[in-house]
Amino acid sequence: MKKLSLLLSVCLSLICASVSCASGTVKIGALFAVTGPASFLGEPEKRTLELLVKEANEKGGINGQKLEAVIYDTGGDATKAVQLATKLIKDDKVSVIIGPSTTGESMAVIPVAEKEKIPLISCAAGIKITDPVKHWVFKTPANDHVAAEKILNYMATKKQKSIALLTVTDGFGASGREQIKALAKQKGFSIVADEVYGPKDTDMTAQLTKIRGIKPDSIICWGTNPGPAVITKNVKQLGIKTPLYMSHGVASKKYIELAGADAAEGVMLPAGKLAIYDALPKSDSQYKLLKEYDHSYKKAYGTEASTFGGYAYDAFLLATGAIKKSGSTPEQIRTGIEHAHKLVSISGVFTMTSKDHNGLDLSAFEMVRIVKGDWLLIK
């Protein structure tokens, strides 16, 4: 009897392990810049994750397991992000980390995730986060070279060949600058001005005055608010008529609000489909999900969903999809994410591989123009 009892006990343990015990709680860690200059990224990310966890738990959780979100505010500070990532892993015992919100923070946290063997799903766009591929690191925004190529492809149709660059001196800006310059060379564009500005600069008329004198066919600004909003105002104040392109880093109504609808009129940028989902055909594979997300977010928070909150939504879908298919240990989640195939989400349709931990292509973006304080799909 003792042997039978022992055998049954072992069998039950193996069964329990094979289904991740189908009970208990899975802890999802999150690092978002809820306050500070990047709060326009972190706040909608935090709200989105909280909303999704609540909705999932109301439906019984994932594979019978409840979810718990452990969210910390990094304030956009890379050093703080590293400290909080360590806390999530060592003290909170999370199985996966969503975030950070910015490229600089993400790059700082990557060594922690790799060393501790915890999957990290960054909500930042810098290509260096996942290129070269790191075993434990993924990200949900499309790579910045994809956004840059989208802009250049559109510029080619308008025969705009000379470009003035104005990029912020942080991780996101440096990465975008590098990608644009490389792609421009490949595609036959000429960079006639290469200006930069600091993340805290409040006036860029000096750089723009130089650019005005060069008379380029176009200006590409690469950064996240508030800098691009300041530049947009400065362009208006200086009477510059050159077509102005922004990066996907400002693809939210906050940018239009900060710049002012009048100054932002005519500005073009690559944006995720969430910004213009109501202009999409209902047959679009993302349409239904985009509409549901926007409506749920409005109901919960009284404001429309943003592209940036969508990055957290994507990360949640990747993580929970992995838990459903593979299990809830860090290694099972990592493996499940890497095998995500044609996963319809907010930022696009993800297909991850061992050689691609971003999984998005040019179809993730649409080119939009700001008209009367709103987005207009460029067809």
pLDDT in tens, 240-274: 999 999 999 898 888 999 999 999 999 999 999 99
Cβ pair 190, 123 in contact under 8 A: no
* % of the chain with per-residue pLDDT over 90: 87
The full set of domain ranges for the chain reads 26-142+288-361, 144-278+365-377
pLDDT digits (tens, 9 = 90+) for 124-149: 988 899 999 999 999 999 988 999 99
CATH number, domain 26-142+288-361: 3.40.50.2300
Q: What is the dihedral of CA 268, 269, 273, 274, to 10 degrees?
A: -90
- The span from the first CA to the last CA of the chain, in angstroms, equals 75
CA-CA distance, 39 to 75, in Å (whole number)? 7
| Type of residue at 136 | W
C-alpha separations of 86 from 47, 116, 251, 333, 335 in Å: 23, 9, 31, 19, 22
pLDDT at 250: 93
| Type of residue at 352 | M
pLDDT at 252: 85
Rg (CA), the chain: 22
pLDDT surpasses 80 at 8: no
Domain 144-278+365-377 is found in CATH 3.40.50.2300: yes
pLDDT at 21: 41
Element (H, E) at 215: none
CA-CA distance, 154 to 373, in Å (whole number)? 22
Fold matches, 26-142+288-361 and 144-278+365-377:
yes
Average pLDDT over the chain, rounded to an integer: 93
pLDDT at 10: 42
pTM for the full predicted model: 0.83
pLDDT surpasses 70 at 4: no
